[in-house]
Amino acid sequence: MSTPSLPSSQAAPVISATRPFYWSVRRELWENHSIYIAPLAVAFLGLCGFVVSLIFPPKHETGLMGIDPAYHTVALAMPYSHAAMLLMITGLIVGVFYSLDALHSERRDRSILFWKSLPVSDFTTVITKAVIPMLVLPLLVFVITVVMQLIMLLLSIAALLLGGGSVATLLTQLPLFQLQFVVLYSLAVSTLWYAPIYGWLLLVSSWARRATLLWAVLPPLAISAVEWIAFHTSHFGSLLLNRLYGFAPDAYVLTMPDGSLVDPHFIPVTQLAPGRFLASPGLWIGLVLAAAFLAAAIRLRRYREPI
């Protein structure tokens, strides 16, 4: 005898496989306002400083009109590059502290008991928390950077019109779209390079009972110290330093065709080397380590209890 099927009105609702992930990301944005407040605050302060520099230019310059014609491109790009670098550093700092607190805070305030009662797996939870510093935050920083630079451009145009300067020179010699493309590229490159750092911080966040920052920093320092004392070498310390800024030689061509060094205030798109970066062993070793750290964090969250 066949069992009669339920009426369509009583059928069990079908939940999309991506829906828990989507709502988990929204939850992180709701609960961690610093993800967007900190970059917005830094952008506002940067704009205030830019306005002051337009009103009171340095004594050795006369605003935009006082730039040496031989260095127009770099000099015009400099404040826009400074703004982008400031926001990128802010995003990195926010990502570090978010990762340290992401899995620790839910055990500290015992909300892990509530979240585990929901139909959201440990895998989804940890991956969501990894996506915030590795995808959401870089995209947010890029959007804020673009808006900030456009506002800076409008303010520069207004200052030139009021001061009798040449707006055409600014618009023709300022490589704004190149700057923004390089910012997007740099955010992608640095995020991939820093993936094992974020993975390690999330692992510490899921394991440590307190003082997550100390537990994140002391083990690498201790390994470096033991290596130096035992073998008088610093290979591990060199690896740590390379993980901080070692992507630059692979991601960019640091010399111009004429042999001069690239000015970091303006890196032309022709100096980008995505193929060489993607082929670098350090990138893939770091991604493997990041995957291992995240797998360990997922397993730890499965068995960790509130603090």
- Tens-digit pLDDT profile for residues 9-47: 555 455 566 788 888 888 888 888 999 999 999 999 999
- Tokens in use for 158? 């207004």
CB contact at 8 A, 190 and 160: no
pLDDT class of 7 with cuts at 50, 70, 90: low
Nearest Cα to Cα of residue 212 among 222, 199, 203: 203
3-state DSSP assignment of residue 120 = coil
- Residue 16 has a pLDDT of 65
**Least confident piece of the model among 15-24, 115-124, 204-213, 244-253:** 15-24
- Tokens in use for 37? 């407040």
Over residues 96-104, mean pLDDT: 92
pLDDT class of 71 with cuts at 50, 70, 90: low
- Residue 286 has a pLDDT of 95
CB contact at 8 A, 262 and 256: yes
Over residues 170-190, mean pLDDT: 91
- Tokens in use for 166? 């040449």
CB contact at 8 A, 168 and 214: no
pLDDT class of 1 with cuts at 50, 70, 90: very low
CB contact at 8 A, 15 and 118: no
Highest mean pLDDT among 14-23, 114-123, 218-227: 218-227
> Which backbone phi and psi does 268 adopt, to 5 degrees?
-60, 155
pLDDT class of 306 with cuts at 50, 70, 90: confident
- Residue 9 has a pLDDT of 52
- Tokens in use for 110? 């015992």
pLDDT over 50 at 250, yes or no: yes
> Which backbone phi and psi does 261 adopt, to 5 degrees?
-75, 145
**Enclosing H/E stretch for 85:** helix 72-102
> Which backbone phi and psi does 112 adopt, to 5 degrees?
-60, -30
Direct distance between the N- and C-terminal alpha carbons of the chain, in angstroms, rounded to an integer: 53
**In whole angstroms, what separates CA 106 from the centre of its chain?**
23
Nearest Cα to Cα of residue 127 among 103, 108, 143, 106: 103
Over residues 89-107, mean pLDDT: 92
Nearest Cα to Cα of residue 129 among 18, 26, 25: 25
pLDDT over 90 at 251, yes or no: yes
- Residue 59 has a pLDDT of 55
Instruction: Give residue 173's identity as a one-letter amino acid code.
Output: Q
DSSP code of residue 132: I
How far apart CA 229 and CA 263 sit, in angstroms, is 39
